[in-house]
Structure 1
């Protein structure tokens, strides 16, 4: 299931790490995943029941290039 968030919300959501980069829906390997992915650091933040969990402790680490199969 793909992430469905209000476009205005997506415009203001940002990664909670120091770079505060924008987030995009899905992952490079799975654009339909219920995850928001940081465009800078690559961390994945889960979306649970339509609510983004923007905690660094809950984020999945970025997948190095070439390992996303």
Structure 2
């Protein structure tokens, strides 16, 4: 389930405050930080972004679920 575009416009990475990129079409569904320094991937569960740094994983990590 994709994240609504209007919601994605106001969401930011909790770690570095950079915009997030929607990758909910991928498996697992994630929102990825666009910052080159941060690059954390936040899981999306049941259409709800889990924006907790403790739940995030480095981009491309198999633990990003």
- TM-score band w.r.t. shorter chain: 0.7 to 0.9
What is the CA RMSD across the aligned residues, in angstroms? 1.8
After superposing on structure 2, the runs of 4+ consecutive aligned residues of structure 1 that deviate more than 4 Å are none
TM-score (norm 1): 0.72
Q: Displacement, 1:32?
A: 1.9
Q: Which runs of 5+ in 2 are unaligned?
A: 61-65
Provide the aligned length of Structure 1 versus Structure 2: 57
Q: Could you tell me how far apart the structure 1 residues matched to 2:59 and 2:30 are?
A: 12
Structure 2 CA distance for aligned equivalents of residues 59 and 37 of structure 1: 9
* Alignment counterpart, residue 37 of structure 1, candidates 28, 32, 38: 32
Unmatched tracts of structure 1, length 5 or more: 64-69
